[in-house]
Structure 1
Amino acid sequence: MSDRNGSGGPFNPFGDGDADDEFDSELDFGEQPENSDDSIAERYNSRGEDEFEAAGLDAPDEFVEEGDAVYEALLSRLGEAAPQPRLSATRRAVELLGDPQRAYPIIHITGTNGKTSTSRIIESLLRASGLRTGLFTSPHLERVNERIMIDGVPISNESLAANWRDVEPFLDLVDTELETAGEPALTFFEALSVLAFASFADAPVDVAVIEVGMGGEWDSTNVGDGQVAVFTPISLDHTARLGNTVAEIARTKSGIVKPATQVVSAAQPPEALAELTRAAELTESTFVSENAGFRLLESTVAVGGQLVSIQGLAGTYREIFLPLYGNHQGHNAAVAVAAVESFIGGGTQALTDDVITEGFATATSPGRLQLVGTEPTVLVDAAHNPGGAEALAAALGEYFTFDKVVAVIAVLADKDVEGIIRALAPAVAEFVVTTSSSERAIDPDELASVVVGVVGADRVLVEPDLVAALDQAREIAGDSEQGAVLVTGSITLVGEVISLAAEEGWK
């Protein structure tokens, strides 16, 4: 691979012996916007440059179709909704490529809620520290490029396509070996993980922040060995694959803890904490947890976010502006600080004022209480389980003064719909039930029956067409002096509305 993302030498896919062998989304892993990536060039060609510019959109770059082709190739594989509980296939692929995941240290992150936000804050702090960063998260909201970030920017279509050309022959070889052995070929996420690891080596990066797709132990990202293993809050989700209890899920997630790792954990239920502590002891790793080794001291509402004070492992940071809404984001920031302190100084070196201020100020979390429209206010949030919905409802009450919130909601099958609605009900006046483009989206009438069972028929409207549902919600909210529309319940839905809002110029 050539050096397409910045300075540095070429990456040899067979390895040159110089790599340091010591180093090798909430989001719902099974969701991905299915109709966003393949339409940009077509929309541009059909609408023309003037209309794109009038909508405030940039014309697609000359490599956009090649980037789209990479996504199409990934989509041809077994989807993310059916991950394979195996590491051998991904391990074989990176082995053929010369183990690119060993070319840089890794901070590895898992949990149930807050993984992506915490990953993004960690990456921002590392970049503010002067390090060249890679960030791998899932799923994406609009384009698959978002999942592979280099130095804070989504990988370019040119680099995405070029790196894909370099790794694809090796993926095909592994596919053949797997099929000969009677196993499924590499899945979407397995292939994407290999592409990300190789892209970071090609850049090259100083450190990669890697978010687990699902679980931990057998997740394809676990071919990389994290110097720091980070755990966000663990609760019930994906029970069909991860286990029926919090302890079982935590045990699976604890698989990212490797020998002599530094483990940093958010506050956890006792049963989850016991599993993480046990994993640290078995691997002779260090272990620090929120409220014991570090803590969020204070969070106060500020214009555009909050002021947080954090006691880290090595320093105390007071009244730092964080441009994210919700007390849960303050806790995510505390975990991020502890993780970066662990990485940079083994937990003994405080971050400088400049690093903490810049790192927080430049942190973003797309799709999490993100403003996409005004008159009326339209917010999108990717909450798709009860824990995420509870945090969302709390943030709405604490950070905004809306007198009426109208929720546009679509949820995927296998989610705890009743739990999500119960969490949102105190903060939402009316629900407009719709659907997204995902094949896994619950039928609107079926979803509406569950919502009605929780909040009553007088607070529920059904509109299967998303555009019509949004129009209806905006009209209802617009009749109130401080009304707002909240779009939530599905990452696919949120991605579609972000794109729609930009195209129609809602801000």
Structure 2
Amino acid sequence: MPDAYQDCLDYLYSRLNYEREGMPKGLADLRLGRMRRLMARLGDPQQGLRIVHVAGTKGKGSTAVMMAAALTASGVSTGLYTSPHLNRLEERYLIDGRPVPPDALVALVDEVRGVVDEMEADERCSRRFGATFFEITTAAALLHFARRQVGAVVLEVGMGGRLDSTNVVRPLVSIVTSIALDHTRQLGDTLGAIAGEKAGVFKRGTPAVSGVQEREPREAIRRVARQRRCLLREIDVDFRYEDFQPVPPLERPTPGRAVVRTWRTDWGMLDVPLLGPHQAHNMTVALAGLDCLAEADASLAVERSAVVRGFAGLEWPARVEVMGARPWLVVDGAHNVASAIALADALRINFPKVPRTLVFGTTREKDVEGQLRALLPLFETRIATRYVHNPRAVMPEEVAETAEAIDGRPMIIAPDPEEALATARKLTGAEGLICVTGSLFLAAEVRAIVLGRRPTSAVGPASA
């Protein structure tokens, strides 16, 4: 089995992999035709699935995991497909919170691989220009959920929406959680242009939920919804929330609470299951999505009691994840300015006021200065590092130079995550806090160190 598993990984990572190599410069290289042909050859397993399709610049993973947890708690067998994985490929394929077993994953990929080989032979296409890593892993997920006859699937978009490989599905509900500037070379350099790409997951006559609050992207989403005759439910119009953050002084990381009301349900006061004030927004979008789903299919209606059960103890790795105490160790995959701001707010509001150490490493083509401007004021000690299992890392010396240009203070240089974490622990007292952030690549490698695991080869998130 170990040889078969490694062969499975080697095959996948031999394919064109935007997660590792970076996205193309524009959308011209992205097409849905090949993905549609692949799914047709597999028998279009997605057509029998009841799907919620979740897009957005940030918050889409958190919203998806909350919806899946509530559906599972209500007694519905629920598949959850997210990307990227952090340490094991199996993390992308969850049913009721449990990842696909390695042997089942190998069998799935082998089956899809055979179909891909036939398709590429028929189309006289080389492997380099054939089905991509993400197309194959997405096809395997849809096949897996269909074979397991799950009652519902929550499907997270990889990048964008309109041309994302997941957009071959016909969902019961489409969701756009938020819009911010990210992947501007591929999606556009305005919020309106990006919103138009994200709203590309809307299907004609299918209800949609939007958590977007800014005027320009909201108008773009409304325009797409009108064109496709979608019943659009919007935050601050059809549903809203009032959040209540923990009252300082805090002795430990403490989530907030929120009162949520939609056009259909008064959900009342709920504990926000994940840390950070931004998670109240994500929880509200998730609950609106559940209400929209209940109207689309009454058998998928979720009661408040199931939401409470599903949210209790919910974990979402590398999203303001607390991995240790004395000192507190927080690992977060914030990879753009919006995510860095959300992390900074979480550290200010949901954590004790203690001395803090930042461990930061990021990815080429990201707004490194913008990320650092959001984070640096919160930290007395700052360490620049890089992840090592992916070639897209920014060198720590470059990160340190950018930081010093911002506030004149130097950063400590650590050549790799292991040394960075060891240095942070040496310099941070037991009552302090260490935060590792800047990229999901870095978060994955630090999590592997903390958990004593080795990540699968060539791990690499598309949005890291």
Query: TM-score, normalized by length of structure 2?
Result: 0.90
In structure 2, list runs of 5 or more residues that go unmatched.
248-252, 454-464
Shift of the alpha carbon at 1:335? 0.2
For the pair 1:250 / 2:195, whether they are aligned, the reply is yes
- The residue number in structure 2 matching 1:383 is 334
Shift of the alpha carbon at 1:456? 2.0
Q: Distance in 1 between matches of 2:416 and 2:202?
A: 45
Aligned pairs, number: 439
Shift of the alpha carbon at 1:173? 1.9
- The answer to whether the 8 Å contact 2:334/2:437 transfers is yes
Q: Distance in 1 between matches of 2:364 and 2:421?
A: 22
Q: Distance in 1 between matches of 2:274 and 2:316?
A: 7
- The residue number in structure 2 matching 1:39 is none
For the pair 1:445 / 2:397, whether they are aligned, the reply is yes
Amino acid aligned to 1:357: V
Shift of the alpha carbon at 1:498? 0.9
Amino acid aligned to 1:467: E
Amino acid aligned to 2:351: F
Match of 1:333 among 274, 283, 286: 283
| Counterparts of residues 453-464 of structure 1 (less than 5 Å) | 453-458=405-410, 460-464=411-415
Go from structure 1 to structure 2 and tell me whether the alpha carbon gap of 1:300 and 1:494 turns closer, same or farther (over 3 Å shift). same
- The answer to whether the 8 Å contact 1:176/1:185 transfers is no
Shift of the alpha carbon at 1:490? 0.8
Q: Distance in 2 between matches of 1:442 and 1:178?
A: 38
Go from structure 1 to structure 2 and tell me whether the alpha carbon gap of 1:200 and 1:346 turns closer, same or farther (over 3 Å shift). closer
Q: Distance in 1 between matches of 2:96 and 2:396?
A: 40
Report SS of the residue matched to 1:301: coil
Shift of the alpha carbon at 1:323? 3.0
Q: Distance in 1 between matches of 2:307 and 2:165?
A: 32
- The answer to whether the 8 Å contact 2:120/2:126 transfers is no
- The residue number in structure 1 matching 2:442 is 493
Per-residue CA distance 1:452-476 (angstroms, 9 max, x = gap):
1113234x11111321211111121
Q: Distance in 1 between matches of 2:223 and 2:128?
A: 33
Q: Distance in 1 between matches of 2:435 and 2:125?
A: 49
Shift of the alpha carbon at 1:363? 2.9
- The residue number in structure 2 matching 1:77 is 15
Match of 2:105 among 160, 183, 190: 160
- The residue number in structure 1 matching 2:451 is 502
Shift of the alpha carbon at 1:149? 0.9
Match of 1:357 among 302, 308, 311: 308
Go from structure 1 to structure 2 and tell me whether the alpha carbon gap of 1:182 and 1:421 turns closer, same or farther (over 3 Å shift). closer
- The residue number in structure 1 matching 2:325 is 374
Amino acid aligned to 1:327: P
- The residue number in structure 2 matching 1:426 is 377
Q: Distance in 2 between matches of 1:266 and 1:281?
A: 17
For the pair 1:66 / 2:4, whether they are aligned, the reply is yes
Q: Distance in 2 between matches of 1:185 and 1:406?
A: 45
277-286 or 169-178, larger mean C-alpha shift = 169-178
Per-residue CA distance 1:242-270 (angstroms, 9 max, x = gap):
11111111111111100111110113321
Shift of the alpha carbon at 1:74? 0.8
- The residue number in structure 2 matching 1:405 is 356
Q: Distance in 2 between matches of 1:362 and 1:469?
A: 30
Match of 1:101 among 31, 40, 46: 46
Q: Distance in 2 between matches of 1:77 and 1:337?
A: 37
- The residue number in structure 2 matching 1:483 is 432
- The answer to whether the 8 Å contact 2:32/2:164 transfers is yes
Aligned residues: CA RMSD: 2.0
For the pair 1:198 / 2:143, whether they are aligned, the reply is yes
Shift of the alpha carbon at 1:112? 0.6
Amino acid aligned to 2:394: I
- The answer to whether the 8 Å contact 1:89/1:178 transfers is no
Report SS of the residue matched to 1:324: coil
Go from structure 1 to structure 2 and tell me whether the alpha carbon gap of 1:471 and 1:297 turns closer, same or farther (over 3 Å shift). same
- The answer to whether the 8 Å contact 1:210/1:221 transfers is yes
- The answer to whether the 8 Å contact 2:361/2:393 transfers is yes
- The answer to whether the 8 Å contact 1:178/1:185 transfers is no
Go from structure 1 to structure 2 and tell me whether the alpha carbon gap of 1:241 and 1:176 turns closer, same or farther (over 3 Å shift). farther
In structure 1, list runs of 5 or more residues that go unmatched.
1-62
Amino acid aligned to 2:8: V
Shift of the alpha carbon at 1:283? 1.0
Amino acid aligned to 2:52: I
Q: Distance in 2 between matches of 1:147 and 1:157?
A: 12
For the pair 1:130 / 2:68, whether they are aligned, the reply is no
Go from structure 1 to structure 2 and tell me whether the alpha carbon gap of 1:427 and 1:65 turns closer, same or farther (over 3 Å shift). farther
- The answer to whether the 8 Å contact 1:385/1:420 transfers is yes
Amino acid aligned to 2:53: H
Report SS of the residue matched to 1:318: strand
Q: Distance in 1 between matches of 2:98 and 2:264?
A: 29
Go from structure 1 to structure 2 and tell me whether the alpha carbon gap of 1:281 and 1:252 turns closer, same or farther (over 3 Å shift). same
- The residue number in structure 2 matching 1:415 is 366
Go from structure 1 to structure 2 and tell me whether the alpha carbon gap of 1:313 and 1:125 turns closer, same or farther (over 3 Å shift). farther
Amino acid aligned to 2:280: G
Runs of 4+ in 1 over 6 A off after TM superposition: 347-350
Match of 1:90 among 25, 28, 35: 35
421-430 or 376-385, larger mean C-alpha shift = 421-430
Amino acid aligned to 2:188: G
- The residue number in structure 1 matching 2:93 is 148
Shift of the alpha carbon at 1:350? 7.5
Shift of the alpha carbon at 1:188? 0.7
- The residue number in structure 1 matching 2:173 is 228
- The residue number in structure 1 matching 2:461 is none
Shift of the alpha carbon at 1:73? 1.4
Q: Distance in 1 between matches of 2:138 and 2:94?
A: 13
Amino acid aligned to 1:447: V
Shift of the alpha carbon at 1:167? 1.7
Q: Distance in 2 between matches of 1:138 and 1:396?
A: 25
Amino acid aligned to 2:342: A
Go from structure 1 to structure 2 and tell me whether the alpha carbon gap of 1:384 and 1:495 turns closer, same or farther (over 3 Å shift). same
Amino acid aligned to 2:399: L
- The answer to whether the 8 Å contact 2:17/2:134 transfers is yes
For the pair 1:110 / 2:55, whether they are aligned, the reply is yes
Amino acid aligned to 1:455: D
Amino acid aligned to 2:380: A
- The answer to whether the 8 Å contact 1:401/1:482 transfers is no
Report SS of the residue matched to 1:314: coil
Report SS of the residue matched to 2:256: strand
- The answer to whether the 8 Å contact 1:314/1:347 transfers is no
- The residue number in structure 2 matching 1:212 is 157
- The residue number in structure 2 matching 1:392 is 343
Amino acid aligned to 2:443: V
- The answer to whether the 8 Å contact 1:338/1:347 transfers is no
Per-residue CA distance 1:117-146 (angstroms, 9 max, x = gap):
111001111112211111111101110111
Report SS of the residue matched to 1:252: helix
- The residue number in structure 2 matching 1:283 is 228
Go from structure 1 to structure 2 and tell me whether the alpha carbon gap of 1:253 and 1:133 turns closer, same or farther (over 3 Å shift). same
